[in-house]
Every structure is written in structure tokens, then in C-alpha cells.
Structure 1
């Protein structure tokens, strides 16, 4: 019994003096419960919408006031024509548009019936369905207090009128697969050289350190492009999801994202010394942010502001938006230049930090 007590005390001493173990034991559960508690929700809140009020009468203003009072919607700005609404949808600035026709109040007074057009971005079918349900409920609440008036919402879904899941699923899978494969494979392959001691041999050879890293990354770049091709072929011929935009532009953006993921894998390999640690960081550290913060599974605008800010440093968020813009909306480079610039910036920063740390570590 005394020996058992001594071994238990020894294990406690090992755990308590290891800060990384304590962080995993106590820090990880706290972080996960906070993130999952705020991020995992089926409710959509603060969705940006526009209202095009052609009537400018009492009834339309009353209904707009009820929409403004709802916590589900955030009226982004007022537009004066349908072209402005279409442009806002293409930019991804809004999720929904509510259009009041001329003579809205007169129709209610004389015929006791009026119509409202509701246009939703159905590139994310789940969010589009939820938002149209919310707006329909608000309209029904208004008409219940204004009997015998009736207001019929005419609902239109852009980009995905059949509300298929593939337009949301395919870009998300591309982001997740490329992030996991590129980061994990690159990180593990470089750390393996450090573990076996062959990295020092390579560095003292005439081969420069930069060439060593590039030679490790190029195979995974080519293999990842094959993954992109496979996913696109399956989505087109099996899932019947057409590519509405430029295929060369889509491959160019995918190549940029792959390079970003490869540089992230290099960064992880520089900071770790074992394959197990590199794999754990690559799997858990990359998979959860991609699922939670890319907008693939849960709308980012639902989250508190600090989590929304954190999502901006997750590369998969920007690539996910790029793929949706090209594949689903059929937009060109002018609509995605901002996301492209962010990915380039993340890549440059990761490359700079990685190579600087790499040279210091092995000098």
C-alpha cells in the first residue's frame, strides 16, 4: 500500500509540474464548453437584411418597425432599387431582402389583401429556410392584430431554388479536406525528419534549408490539387451541382488555399518536435476551427463578437466564401479579391515566422 501511495504521489507530481498537461486537463474543457456553448446553435440571429420599401406608407412602416424590433434581423442599409439588392446578394453583404410593393396600404384597405416579396440567399439552404420562417412569422403576427387584413409573402430563393444541401456541403468539405490533409501531412513529414535526425544531415548538405522545405511541400500541393479535381468531378456528375463560375479561377484560388495550409503545416512542424504532437495539433487544432468558424456548419454572425473576430484568422473561412462565390453564385475575381488578399497575407505572415523560427532553431 505504501508503494502504491508513492507511485500515485509521483504521478501527481509529474502532472502538476507539466504545464502543457495541466492546460489540456483544465484549459481545454473550459475553452470547448465556452466555444461550443456560444457557437453551436440552430437559431439564426442578427442576420443582415435589406428592406426595399416602394410603398412608404403607414402599413409598411409599421411592419418594418416590427422587423427592426426582432433580434433575428439586422437591417444593414436601405436600397432604392432591385439592382442594389442583387449587388448586395452577390457581395454576400445580406442574407435576405424584403420588398414592399407600391400601394401596399391601399391594397390592405380596399381589398384586405396585400403581398410582400421575400428574397433569400439559398447558397446556405438551412439559414435561408430559417430566415424565411422568421419573416413569415413576423408577418403573421402583424396580420393577426390587423384583422381582416391578410398579407401573403412571396418567397424566392436565390442561387439554390430547390434548397439542396450540396451547395453548402461541397465548399465546406473542400475547406475541411484541404485543411486537414495539407496541414497534417506537411507537419508530420517535416517533424519525422527531425525525430530521425536526418534533418541535420539535410541542412549540412549543399541543399539550402528553403529547398528542403519546398521539396517537402510540393508533393502535397500536387496531391491536394488531385483532391480538388476529384471533389469537383463528384459534385458535378454525382451530386449534379454545376460550377457556375470560372473553373481556372476556382483552381487558382484552391492552389492559394493549399499553399496557405502548407505554410501552416510548416509552422506547426517548426514549433513541435514529435509526430504525435504535430498530428494532434493538426487534427484538433485545424478541424474544430474549420467546422466552427468557417460558416460551414454554423453561421458566424450568430456568435458573440469576440468569436467573430477569431474567425477572421481561420483561413478556411475565407476559402469557403470564395468557393461559394465562384461555384454557386458564378461570380468573378472582383467579388472575391478581398478574401484572396487575406489568404495571401496569412500565407506571407506564416512563411516569415516559420522560416525565421526554423533558422534560429537549427543554427
Structure 2
């Protein structure tokens, strides 16, 4: 036992002496959570739009004022003819043009119907769709105010209520995903170079001739990073709560336990990569390139898994990040307990045991 504790102490000394490793372990996660939290968003604010008003009456002026008064849009310019629309879009600043038909107010009063064309720059489809939805929402609100004293028989008025994220803040979606990516990549990357580093420095022979068993070597390599990654997770959660106002509806204790389980699974995966890699460069490439794309694309972080082709849906089940994102969203946003996320927890636990067992099996007791 003394040898094992001494081995763990040695690993701590190695980590704290390597300033680059400490920067990767603590500096990168903070920088990434701040960058992703502020930069990645599907909301729009102060989008420049242009207006082509053929009518120029009191009603169109009122609608234009309501749109410009919102935080979402800024009226960049007024244009006089439809032939100018293409040139406005080509300049790249304006993302949408509102085209009011001639005699807009007159048609609204006489025919109870008037046309407003929303022309968007669809080179960015998501932004174009969001702009259209926001303008429609403002118009619907204007119509409600206009018709508040008019009763229409058999009118069906749908009412939408958003639960867990009523303000539709994109940060509620991205912070759990970014937290998952950071813990997965940093943990796996740091441990993936641990055994390969011993090989390159020529100290692997000392480990092989020592009385320490392979399982003790694996656990000893992983343990210091568990401690340091838990600190990382605490920092990320605190940043999420105090900087991005991310709610934690569920148990912080359960969130901590689930985070530790995910960290151990990521570290075990990193050790597995380390045992099958000959050099630190190879291990780094596998942990970065081999994990980054699957974690981002197949975890449900950005794209819904249910919308993917069936083969990709099946492959996504072997991505640990997918299950942790379900867990963390359930705890933080829905306030669920273990009775609702036991399946995902059991899958993560099974993956962790599998990675550790395979690492022990792949651990070579002889140098080739």
C-alpha cells in the first residue's frame, strides 16, 4: 500500500512541475466556457434590417416603430424601390428587408387583410428563420392590440408555454454541452499522454520492474487527475451559475456525484488511449481528433440525435458524453432525481468499468 501511495504522490509531483499541463488543465476550461458561453448563441440582437415602404401611412409607421423599438432589430436604411433589395443584401450588412405593399392601411381597413413581405438573407438559414419568427411574433402582438376590442366568433387562439427554459435562453442549451466537452477532452487528453510520456522518457522500465500491479498503475495514473478534474468541474459550475445565471434545479450533491462518474469514465478512456499509443503525439491526436468530433456531433450537444440517420443514432449510444448531457440537463434544468436518470448513470458506470478493464488488459508488462 505504501508503494501505491508513493506512486500517486509521484504523479502529483509530475503534474505540478509541468506548467504547460497545469495551464491545459485549468486555463483552457475557463477560457473555453467563457468563450463558448458568450459566443455560441442562437439568439439574435440588433440585427440590421432595411425597410421598403410603398405605403408610407400611419399603420406602416407604427409597425416599423414597434420593430425598431425591439432589442432584436435595428433599422439600417429605408429603400425606395424593389430593385435596390439585391444590392442591399450584396453589401452583407443587412440581413432582412421588410417590404410593405402599396395602400397597406387602406387594404387592412377595407379588406381586413394587408401584405408584408419578409425577405431574408438565407446564406445563414438559422438566422434567416429566426428573423422571420421574431418579426411574425411582433406582428402577432400588434394584431392583438389592434383587435382587442373586436370579437371574432369561433376564433382559436393557441397558447404556448415553454417549461424549464421559458425565456428560450440558448446559454441553457450550450453550457451543459460545453461543460461536457471540456471535461471529456481535457480529462482524456491529460491522461492519454501519461503512460506514453513514461515510454518516451525511458521511465517505463522502472514501472515494469516495480512490484506495482498493472491495475495499481492505472488507478495511480488516474487518481490525481480525478482530484484536479473535480476542481475543474466545480469552477465550471460556479461560472455557469454566477456568470451565465444557469439554474440548478436539482441536487448539487447528485450533480457532483454524476460529474465525478463522468470524469472517471473520461480519464479511463484517456488511459486506454495511452496504453495503445506509442508516443505522446499519437495519443494527443487520438484524444483530440478522435474524440472531439464524435463528442460535438453525436452527443446531442448541438444537433438532436433523433433527427440523425439510424446508423448515427446507434453509434451515438457508445459516446459517454451523450449520456452525461442527458444527466446534467435533467439535474440542472428539470430538477430530476436519480430515479429518472438511473439508466444513464448505469450506462456511464458500465462504460467506465469497461474502459478500466480494457486498459489493464492492454497494459504491456514488457517493452517491445
Which TM-score tier does this pair reach, normalised by the shorter chain? 0.5 to 0.7
Mean alpha-carbon deviation: is it higher for 229-238 or for 327-336?
Answer: 229-238
Partners of 1:271 and 1:149 in 2: CA distance: 69
How many residues of Structure 1 are paired with residues of Structure 2 in the alignment?
A: 225
Partners of 1:170 and 1:313 in 2: CA distance: 22
Q: In structure 2, do the counterparts of structure 1 residues 361 and 336 end up closer, same or farther at CA, with 3 Å as the change threshold?
A: farther
Matched, 1:194 2:199: yes
Alignment map for 1:30-41 (pairs within 5 Å): none
Matched, 1:232 2:229: no
Partners of 2:257 and 2:324 in 1: CA distance: 11
Partners of 2:296 and 2:264 in 1: CA distance: 20
Alignment map for 1:64-213 (pairs within 5 Å): 150-213=155-218
TM-score after normalising by structure 2:
0.57
For structure 2, list consecutive stretches of 5 or more residues without a partner in the other structure. 1-41, 43-125, 137-151
- Which residue of 2 is the match for residue 220 of structure 1? 225
- Displacement of 1:311 after TM fit? 0.3
Partners of 1:296 and 1:340 in 2: CA distance: 18
- Displacement of 1:202 after TM fit? 1.2
The superposition leaves residues 297-341 of structure 1 with CA deviations (integer Å, 9 ceiling, x where unpaired) of 111111100000000000000001100000000000001000001
- Which residue of 2 is the match for residue 343 of structure 1? 348
Q: In structure 2, do the counterparts of structure 1 residues 285 and 148 end up closer, same or farther at CA, with 3 Å as the change threshold?
A: farther
- Displacement of 1:151 after TM fit? 2.9
Alignment map for 1:36-47 (pairs within 5 Å): none
Q: In structure 2, do the counterparts of structure 1 residues 164 and 199 end up closer, same or farther at CA, with 3 Å as the change threshold?
A: same
Pick aligned residue for 2:268 from 229, 245, 263: 263
For structure 1, list consecutive stretches of 5 or more residues without a partner in the other structure. 1-41, 43-125, 137-146
The superposition leaves residues 148-195 of structure 1 with CA deviations (integer Å, 9 ceiling, x where unpaired) of 964322011010101112211111011100111110100112111012
- Which residue of 1 is the match for residue 250 of structure 2? 245
Partners of 2:157 and 2:229 in 1: CA distance: 49
Partners of 2:180 and 2:276 in 1: CA distance: 24
Partners of 1:178 and 1:339 in 2: CA distance: 17
Question: Is residue 193–residue 280 contact of structure 2 (8 Å, CA) maintained in 1?
Answer: yes
Matched, 1:305 2:278: no
- Displacement of 1:359 after TM fit? 4.1
- Which residue of 1 is the match for residue 334 of structure 2? 329
The superposition leaves residues 22-55 of structure 1 with CA deviations (integer Å, 9 ceiling, x where unpaired) of xxxxxxxxxxxxxxxxxxxx9xxxxxxxxxxxxx
TM-score after normalising by structure 1:
0.58
Larger radius of gyration: 2
Partners of 1:310 and 1:281 in 2: CA distance: 18
Partners of 1:237 and 1:327 in 2: CA distance: 14
Question: Is residue 208–residue 365 contact of structure 2 (8 Å, CA) maintained in 1?
Answer: no
Mean alpha-carbon deviation: is it higher for 326-335 or for 228-237?
Answer: 228-237
